[in-house]
Amino acid sequence: MSDTVKLLPCSTKDLSSQAPVLRISIARLLLVGFAVPPFVLAYMIVKVMLTDFEHATYTDCRVLNALPSVSAISRSQQLGWKLVTWMLLPLRALIIVLYWRYYRKVFRRAYMLQWLILFLFLYETLSTVFMARWTHISGDESIHMIVVCSIWLASFGYIGASFLCFKRHCTRFAVEPHQQLSYLLKRKLVIFYYSGTLAMWCCYPLHTMFCLPLAYTGFALAEYVVSWSLMGYLWTSAIDFYPLYLCRNEQRGFFLIST
């Protein structure tokens, strides 16, 4: 005689085995994790200005410069920069998986676009790891310039492509209030990011080609805006996945649910 298969819970023991013993809010996890880098960068700027100002603001042109670049900050604060980079790596891997699930659901036919966005973000993530690995290298070295340009190009493409996809979805379909909030925040951050990028690349040749005083200060300030805008854009992933929870029970193991 074959064993009877239980289709419905028959006791409190059956119910307890189905109830999640672990329930973690994805939104809170991303909210806390991606809130760290903007504050750490602000702290590092202040610390470098107070403790290593002369060395961090030195340039080959030897003209007046009032702010250290992000590269100079990472060289001066190597340990902290590496710790933040490695701390964020699991969270970056998590949102790659989550956005892959999201894009598969929302843009079912645009396979190339899905993979392009995810590739750009993965490439940008790997570039940040390489930058943390070689923070001690001078800004004049070729490897440093390649890594920095890789980060900028990948983030430039990722923010533009992902925002256009998100905008298309929010303007064509009815969306939840948290998605509308995420769209409004993303739109402002995109404006800041591309405005900062334009200012950054206007100031850079003024410094390298003409050695104008304070030109590199303008470049560094624009670089801060670009960096904070990118960090804020990643932080909005907490709003995108607001109703999502990571759960675990005895029957199913780890699984995601949406409330």
DSSP three-state, residue 231: helix
Displacement of CA 67 from its chain's centroid (Å): 24
Beta strands (DSSP E) in 105-252 are 244-249
Residue 97: CB partners within 8 Å, gap ≥ 6? none
- Per the prediction, the chain carries an average pLDDT of 87
Taking only the tens place, the pLDDT of each residue in 127-163 is 999 988 887 777 667 888 888 899 999 999 999 999 9
Q: Which residue has the higher pLDDT, 106 or 233?
A: 233
Predicted TM-score (pTM) of this structure: 0.88
pLDDT at 18 over 70: no
Q: Region 29-48: what's the mean pLDDT?
A: 96
Domain boundaries defined on the chain: 22-258
pLDDT at 48 over 90: yes
Nearest in space to 6 (alpha carbons), one of 21, 17, 20? 17
The number of beta carbons lying within 10 Å of the beta carbon of residue 7 is: 6
DSSP three-state, residue 59: coil
pLDDT at 11 over 60: no
Q: How confident is the model at residue 93 (pLDDT cuts 50, 70, 90)?
A: very high
- What percent of the chain is modeled with pLDDT above 90? 61
Taking only the tens place, the pLDDT of each residue in 186-226 is 999 999 999 999 999 999 999 989 999 999 999 999 999 99
Q: What tokens were used for 196? A: 């900062």
- pLDDT score at 145: 84
Distance of alpha carbon 182 from alpha carbon 172, whole angstroms: 16
Nearest in space to 225 (alpha carbons), one of 256, 254, 201? 201
Lowest mean pLDDT among 6-20, 61-75, 170-184, 235-249: 6-20
Q: How confident is the model at residue 3 (pLDDT cuts 50, 70, 90)?
A: very low
Q: Region 60-72: what's the mean pLDDT?
A: 91
Distances (CA, A) of 146 to 33, 122, 138, 151: 28, 16, 12, 9
Burial class (CB in 10 A: 0-12, 13-18, 19+), 157: middle
- pLDDT score at 105: 81
Lowest mean pLDDT among 5-14, 104-113, 180-189: 5-14
Q: Which residue has the higher pLDDT, 31 or 250?
A: 31
pLDDT at 233 over 80: yes
- pLDDT score at 59: 87
